[in-house]
Structure formats: C-alpha cells, structure tokens
Amino acid sequence: MAEFRIEHDSMGEVKVPADKYWAAQTERSHENFLIGVGIETMPREITKAFGYLKKAAAMANNALKPEKMTDKKLKAISQACDEVISGSLNEHFPLVVWQTGSGTQSNMNTNEVIANRANEIAGEKLCHPNDDINMSQSSNDTYPTAMHIAAVVELEDKLLPAIDVLVETFKRLEKENADIVKSGRTHLQDAVPISFGQEISGWRTSLERDKELVNASLPFLKQLALGGTAVGTGLNAPKGFDQKVAECVSKLTGKNFVTAPNKFHALTSKDEIVFAHGAVKALAADMMKIANDVRWLASGPRDGLGEIRIPENEPGSSIMPGKVNPTQCEQVTMVAVQVMGNDAAVGFAASQGNFELNVFMPVIAYNFLQSVRLLAESIVSFNKNCAVGITANKDKMHHNLYNSLMLVTALNPYIGYENAAKTAHKAFDENISLKDACVALGFLTAEKFDEVFKPEQMAFPQGK
C-alpha cells in the first residue's frame, strides 16, 4: 500500500507520496491535469534549465540579500540544484506540458523539490519553497528564462554540432566527386550537366547557411527575463538582481547570458523563440530537400535513376524478397514534417501574449525543444547510417548524361535556340542521337558537331 505524507499550501492540506520530494502545489497539478501523463511530461531540458536558474538565483540572492539567503542555505540549495541539473531527480518532476500557461506549476514543482532535497541535505527544516527557492522571482519571469536557457543549450550543444558532422561528410564527398559529371535536373526534368561535387556543394552550403541563421538567433535567446518578477516591474527583487543572476547563469552554463533590457517585453513576447524556431524550420526544410535528392538519386536499383548507391541497412519489405529502402531518408523527411508542424504551433502560441504575460509558454517550450532534439538526432542518424556511405554510380551517371537531350544547349551559340530546339525534338521523336539529328537537319557537319559538343566541359563553363 502506498505511503503518503501530509503537505500544505495556501489552499490547505494535500496527500503527497512519501518517497517524492515534491509537495502540495505539485501534487495538486499532478491530480488536476491528467493529460498526456507519462508521454508529454515537461521537457527534461526545461527541468535542467530550472536547476541552473534556481542555483543562479540563490547565488545572486546570497550576494545581494545575505541576511536572508545565508551561506548555509546557499550550500544546501546549490547541491540540490546540481542534482536537478544532473537529472538524478527527474522522477520528482511528474508534471505535464498541459498545465497553466505560465508554467507556474512547473516553477513550484522545482521550488518544492529543491527545498525538500536541500532540507534533507542540511538535516533540518532550512528552506521554504516560496520564501527561499523562489526568492526575488515569479513563475512569470522564471519560466521564460528557463525556456531561453534550454533553447540556447540545446541549439549550441546538440543541433549545431550535428550540422557540423554532416557538413564535414559532404565536404569529403564533394572533394571525392568533384570531377564526376552527370545530368542536372530542374522541374524533375533533364537539364544541362553538373558535376556531382557541385550538386553536393549545394547541400553543404544549405547546411552552413542554416547554421548561420541559427547562430543569428542566439544573441536574442541569451537575453533573460529573470528579474522582471510578476509583470515586469521587478517587484520584490533587489536592485541589480537581474544583472547579477544573468552573470551567475552564464557562469554555471558557460554561455554568455545577459539580462533582457525590457522585462515587460520579455514576459509577454516570445518573438525570440519564434525567430529561432524559424531558423530551425529552415534547417528542416533543407534536410527535407537533401533527403529527397538522395533517395531520388538512389532510386532503383534497376528501374529508377540509380545514379548513387547508399548503405543497405535493413530489409525493406515483408513480401518482396531482396527489397531495400532508403529508410534514413524517410526518417529525415518525417522529422522535417514534424518540425514544420511544430513551427505553426510555436507561432500561434507566441501570438497569445495578452497584456503582461504570454500564457502558452509550456506548449511553446515543448514544441521548440522537440524540434531541436528530433532534428539533431535525425541529422546524426542520417549522417552515420546513410551519408557517409554515399557512392557515385559512375557508369549510370555517364549513361544518363549522354542520353540527355538537354545537352543540345551547348549548340545554342552555333546554330541558335530555335534550331537547337528542332534538333532536340527530332532526336526525341525518332529516338536518335543529338548528333544524328543535328547533321540530318543540316545545321552542323559531323566533324563540327564533335568539335563543339563537349558534355563534361559544360559543367565548368568558366573553368574549374
């Protein structure tokens, strides 16, 4: 039989599981919001960010209000916060995303867990959730701060390194395939020649540009709302707390956070998150394009384009023996779709900053962090299980190149656009070569055609 202890808050007494550090307010939320339990809990990135935030707040309060935040309290709180940051107390954070839109209950969950754990560490009733752990703060400035901390940490420590790994793979492939010329394609139709290295360089540069876009969003995310308290005025926070706590967060995370210059904006507007997720969506869009290119180029093995080979990771059919599918490309495209859907949710939620507070913050955090986490893991998986093993099917590329009617473009300077078009149509209609069509129409001699018709050189019209 489960054992309980009695906790109380301003509304009265509540039964709380005896083996959990949370207290009355967490338990009320746990009982009142049975939505997505066990599946859509508050992201652990937010829990970790709250650990940084609460430790930094205690450090700032110790410096500015040492008579209230004593060294003894700071020591116990700091150790408890370190355990929150490490993830060892995750079982004590049961709340779901679908709670109050300010994240108040998750803030109080953190306050209660840290207070109870700190008291256990100190061996006495030393800390109170509201008076000590929440000192100089409000849920209204802590939750947006936690969102920004989590966003910066995940973007810098997970997503950007994932991009770098795939970029390095593409750099290698680009160099290895620099001189392999193949048919280009536009509108899914044959186009003029391109080298496979040039095609890969487009993929690489897209990722490098996406990285620049993500980096452009970081200075705004590094502005923290902490110090604005309830409505942005800083009520009950000592002077200089906002700057001091930003310094402490920076010290703990190794990231350069600063206090937001206008706390009224910081509490109600989520434009920084929208902007950053837009950059994440741009990356998702490029990953969708790259994955689609790869699976189109690898289509076949006999009845598709078949211009590249990709690793064979698992059987592709329960009924067709020997079938192998581009599964890594498919996971990338599904993740990209999820990120694009998340972007809509983030945008809609960010538009709901009524008066002095946005009350859609948990769903913003949930979608943003899911996008970053999924995309980072997706890119790493795609690189490891697909991209590193891409090889060119040179024979098929050569065949497709010389079978392309769009090579006729090379004749434009010599016979003109309209005659070149007639040549292409004749070659297609009669299923003959461009050379035979051009000579038959009397536009060029066979010798002159061979002199000007150099498909491989068409990929490098201005030299390499």
Rounded CA gap, 148 and 434, in Å?
A: 60
Q: Which value, to the nearest 10 degrees, does the dihedral of the CA atoms of residues 145, 146, 151, 154 take? A: 140
Query: Per the residue annotation, which of 86, 88, 317, 351 is the catalytic one?
Result: 317
Interatomic CA distance for residues 252 and 244, integer angstroms = 13
Strand partners, 391: 309
Which residue has tokens 């700071």?
A: 74
Q: Which tokens go with 352?
A: 């709901």
Instruction: Find the helix or strand (DSSP H, E) in which 140 lies.
Output: helix 139-154
CA atoms of 63 and 76, how far apart (whole Å): 16
464: which 2 tokens? 């390499």
Residue 92 annotated to the active site: no
| Phi, psi for residue 452 in degrees, rounded to 5 | -100, -15
Give the rounded distance of the alpha carbon of 336 from its chain centre.
Answer: 10
Peptide bond into 413 cis (omega under 30): no
Q: Could you give the C-alpha distances from 129 to 16, 138, 244, in angstroms and in order?
A: 15, 12, 21
Q: Phi and psi at residue 153, in whole multiples of 5°? A: -60, -45
Name, in order, each residue with C-beta under 8 angstroms of 281's C-beta and a sequence gap of 6 or more: 339, 340, 343, 371
Beta strand segments in 137-188, E: 181-186
- Which residues have C-beta within 8 Å of that of residue 452, sequence separation ≥ 6? 410, 411, 414, 444
Helix axes 104-122, 24-32, angle to 10 degrees: 140
Residue 299's alpha-carbon distances to 93, 296, 321, in angstroms, are 47, 5, 17
Per residue, the 3-state secondary structure of 52-73, as one string, reads HHHHHHHHHHHHHCCCCCCHHH
- Describe the crossing of helices 361-385 and 139-154 by its angle, rounded to 10 degrees: 10
Q: Check if 317 is active-site.
A: yes
Cα separation values, 424 from 428, 432, 435, Å: 6, 10, 10
Backbone angles phi, psi at 261, to 5 degrees: -70, -25
Residue found by looking up tokens 């990120």 in the block: 339
With beta carbons less than 8 A apart as the criterion, state whether 226 and 248 touch: no
Q: What is the C-alpha to C-alpha distance for residues 214 and 284, in angstroms, rounded to an integer? A: 12
What positions carry a catalytic annotation?
187, 317
